[in-house]
Chain A
Amino acid sequence: MNMKFRKGKLALASLGVLVLAACGGAAQTEADTVVAPEQDDSEAVVEQFVPEKVSIVVSSGPGGGSDVLARQIATILNDEGITDYVWPVENVDGGSGMAAMGYMSENSGSDGMIGIAPLGWISTAVTLGSDAPVTVNDLTAISLLIVEPMVVAVADDSPYQTLNDLIDAAEAGERIVQVGGQVGSIADLARLAFAEELGIEWTYLPVESGGERIPTILRGDAQMMFGSPADFVGQTVDDGGSLRIIATVGPSRVDLFPEAPTHAEAGYDIEIGLAFRGVMGPPEMSDEAISYYEGVFQALLESQGWKDLAAEFGYSTSYLASEDWRTFLQAEEAKLTK
C-alpha cells in the first residue's frame, strides 16, 4: 500500500469530519464560520485532534449483537463521509465482556481505540464483585448510543393474547415458562421486577444460544420470551413467521411493533431496567479524543443512514455525551448492585 497517499487522504478526510462534527456538535455557533473558512479558522482545524487509526473493540464474537452493531456503525460512518475508511472491528470475546474491558485497559492512554459497551459490561463486574479486574469506571465514557426496550413474544397459537393474560395465568398457578439468556440478564431482571412488585413467580429458562430461543417457544417448551425488538424481526406472523408480539417492556412503545402496548399501559406500574449500548474508550483517553468521538457519534446518530437502520432494527436512539453517560452508567450499576 502507498502509505503517503493514505496519510494524505486521512488528513483531508479528517477535515471533513471536523466540519461535520462542528455542524452537528455542541459548537452550534461555529456553524456559520465553517461555510466560509477564514485563515484563523483553518488554524483551529489544524489544532483539532484526529486519531491516526481507530479500531472498535467488541466483546461478542463475529455475528453477535455488539459485533453486528459495530460493523453497521463503521459502515454508516464511512458511507456518510464521517470517517474516510471503515473502522475495523476487533472481536475480543471471553470473560463475559471482561476480556474486552481488560484489553482496553491494557491500552490505557490510547486515543485510537473505542469499545461498544453493552449492559453486560456492568453486570459481569457486579457479579464478580471485588474479583473484577476492571470495571466500566476504569474506562473513559464517550457516549450512549441506544437503549433497548424489550418486547414480549408468544407463539402464534398461544392462548395468551396480552401481557395481562400471561400474568393472570401465572397468578392462577398455570405453568408459564419464560425463555431467555443467562440468569442475571436483562430479561431475567425484568422477570424479577415483576415478581417483586406483584408477588407472582414464573419459571425462567436460560438458553445460551440466541438461535435456540425462538425454537423453544415454537416447540411449546416455553410460553414467552422477553427480547430486544431486533430478535423478532422476520419472525412475526406479519412477516410469515410464527410469533406474535403482545407487549413492550419499557418506557415507551417501539417503532418496530407500535401495536404492542407498554407494561405501564397494561396496568403494571413497575420500573424495569433497560438494556443499552454505548461507546467507551481506554483509561486516560485525551480530552481532545473524547470530544472528537462525541462529535463523530453525534453526527452518526443524526445521519439518514443511521435513522434508516434504527427503524429497520428497532434501535431506540438515545444520545448522551461523556459526562451524562458516565452518570447513567453509575446509576445503572447502583441498580444492579442493589
Chain B
Amino acid sequence: MNETLQLLAEGFAVALEPWNLLWVLIGVFFGTLVGVLPGLGSPAAIALLLPLTIQLPPASALIMLAGIYYGSEYGGKTTSILMNMPGESGAIMTTIDGYPMAKKGQAGKALGIAAVASFVGGTVGLIALTFLAKPLASLAIGFGPPEFLGLVILGLSTVVLMSGKSVLKGLIAAVVGMMFALVGVDILAGQPRFIFGQSDLLDGMSFVSLIVGVFAIAEVMVNIEQRTGKPLFSVPKRLREYFPSFREIGRSGIAMGQGSIIGFLVGVVPGAGATIASFLAYTLQKKTSRNPERYGKGAIEGVAAPESANNAATSGAFIPLLTLGVPGSGTTAILLGALILFGIQPGAQLIEQRPDIVWPLIASMYVGNIALLVINMPLVPMWASILKVPYGLLYPIIIVLSVVGVYSVSNSVADLWALLFFSLIGYAFRKFDIPIAPFVLAFVLGILAERAFRQSMLISGNSIEIFLDRPIALALFVLAGVLLTSPVWASAARLLKRRGRL
C-alpha cells in the first residue's frame, strides 16, 4: 500500500511536468472530439496519431494516447443524448434515457450528469486500478470461456427488461440481431456463414454501420417523416436549466456507485469491455430502482449508471495490459502495439520492469479525468444549443457526419451499403414499434455466446459439467436465471398480495 502510494507519487511527479500536462490535455481534448463523432472511434484516432507520437518520449506518448482512449468515452455520450446517435458503442445505453431527457428540454442536465458520472466512474476505476491491479489480474486469467458465457447470458437476459411494453417484440428484435451476428467466418470451423459469396461479409457485418444506421439515420428518417411544424425539442432558456442541480447529482449517487463497480469489474475481463459494462449497469440500476417505470422516459439515473460504467471499464481494461502484457480490449491492443513501436517489450512483468512508464501513465489518467470534467462542463451549453440549429440544417449534418464517420473507420464502401441497410432496418423497427436496444445487444452478445459455448465444449470434451464445476460460471448462470424469471416472480408476488388482501 505504502509502496504503491510512493510509486504513484513518483508517477504524478512525471505526469505533472508541464510538457506531459500538455500531452494529457491534447489527448483528452482530442479524445472528446473523436468520441463525439459517430463511427470514428478511439482505435482509429490512436492509429492516426501513432506516427506523430513516435518522436516523443514513450511515457509522454502513452499518456496522450491513453487520453484519447478514455476521453472518447466522455465524448461518446454527447450525440447519444442530443441526437439519439451513440458516438461510441459504450454509449448505446445512454440513448435510452438521455435522448428522452433532451426531448423534454433537459439536454443540458443530461450532458451535465453524464460528465459527472463519467468522472466518478473513471476515478473510481483508477483508484481500483492503482491498488487492486495485482489481485485482479487473477480475475482476468480466471475468466475463461465458461465464465464468459455466464456473463454474456446474464447480459442477454436483460433483453427481457429492455423490451418495454411487449416482451414478444423485444424477443423479435433480439432474434433478428442474432441472425445478423452470425454472418461471417465462423472461427471455430474456419468456414464462412451466410455471406452469399460476398467477401466483404467475411469479417461479419460492420458494428459501426449498425449502430450509426439503426440509431442516427433511422431517427432522422422518422423525424423528417413526422415533421409536424412544432419543434421536436424544447430548448432550455435559463442557464440554470443547462446543469443538473446538486439534488439531481445526489439522487444519481447510487447509480454512479453501482455503475462504477460493475463497469470496472467487467472492464477487467478480457473481451467484455465498456459496451457490456454499460448494459449491465443500466439493467442493475433499473432493477434496483423503486420506480422502474420512469426508465426509458428520461430518468437522470438512467444516464448516470451507464456513463459511470463505461468510463470505469476503460480503467479496468488496463489491468490485463499492465499486469499480464495481454490486451483486454480493442483499444488496449493498439496501445500494446504502440508500446512495441516505442521499443518497449510488454510482457508479464510490465508493471515491475517499467515503473517509469506505467506509473506516470496511471497518474496522468487521474489528471486527465479532472481535465475532462473541467473541459466538458463549459461545453455543455454549447452542445445543448446545437438543438437550436434548424432541422433543415441539422439533419443533413447528421447524415454527412454518419457517412463520413463510417467510411473513415474501414475505408470500405461495403460498410456504407451496410449503413443504408441498417438504416432501413432501424426505420422498420420504429414503424413497427420494435425496441432497438435488444436488437443491438443481441448482435453484440449473440456471437460471443455461441463462441464461448463451443469453446467451453472443446475444453471439456463436450461435457456440460464444465458449467457446474466452475463456481464463477455457475454463479453467473444462476443470476441470469433469476433475472430471466423475475417478471414471473413479480407477478407471483402480486398475486399473493392480492390473495392476502381478499
Q: Which residues of A contact B (CB under 8 A)?
A: 61-64, 67-68, 71-72, 74-75, 86, 88-96, 98-99, 102-103, 124, 127-128, 131-133, 175, 177, 181-185, 188, 203-212, 214-216, 218-219, 221-222, 233-235, 239-242, 312-313
Contact = CB atoms under 8 A, between A and B. Distances in A.
Given A91-B47, A182-B185, A215-B140, A75 B200 contact: no
A188 B47 contact: no
B141 interface: yes
Nearest to B337: A63
Contacts of B144: 215-216, 219, 221
Interface of B: 43-44, 46-47, 50-51, 54, 140-142, 144-145, 185, 187-192, 197, 199-203, 206, 270-271, 320, 324-328, 330, 333-338, 340-341, 345-350, 352-353, 410-412, 414-415, 451, 455, 458-459, 461
Contact of B192 (A127, A177, A210, A240): A127
A177 B458 contact: yes
B407 to A, nearest CB: 12
Nearest to B199: A98
B301 to A, nearest CB: 33
A98 B141 contact: no
Contacts of B451: 208
Binding site of A, secondary structure by majority: helix, strand, loop or mixed? Answer: mixed
Given A203-B458, A206-B188, A215-B270, A235 B325 contact: yes
A221 B347 CA distance: 21
Contact of A234 (B189, B199, B346): B346
A203 B141 contact: no
Given A211-B328, A214-B326, A233-B347, A182 B352 contact: no
Interface centre among B142, B201, B337 (most CB of A within 10 A): B337
Contacts of A221: 144-145, 459
A92 B412 contact: yes
Contacts, number: 180
Contacts of B145: 221
Contact of B270 (A94, A181, A211): A211
B200 A99 contact: yes
24 contacts: A63-B333, A63-B338, A89-B51, A92-B411, A95-B199, A95-B201, A95-B203, A99-B412, A127-B192, A175-B461, A182-B187, A182-B188, A204-B458, A205-B459, A211-B327, A212-B270, A214-B326, A215-B320, A221-B144, A234-B348, A235-B347, A239-B347, A241-B349, A313-B340
A74 B54 CA distance: 11
A71 B140 contact: no
A219 B142 contact: yes
Given A188-B190, A211-B270, A62 B459 contact: no
Contacts of B201: 95
Contacts of B51: 71, 74, 86, 88-89
Return the 7 tightest CB-CB contacts between A and B, nearest first.
A234-B347, A63-B337, A183-B190, A62-B47, A184-B190, A241-B348, A240-B349
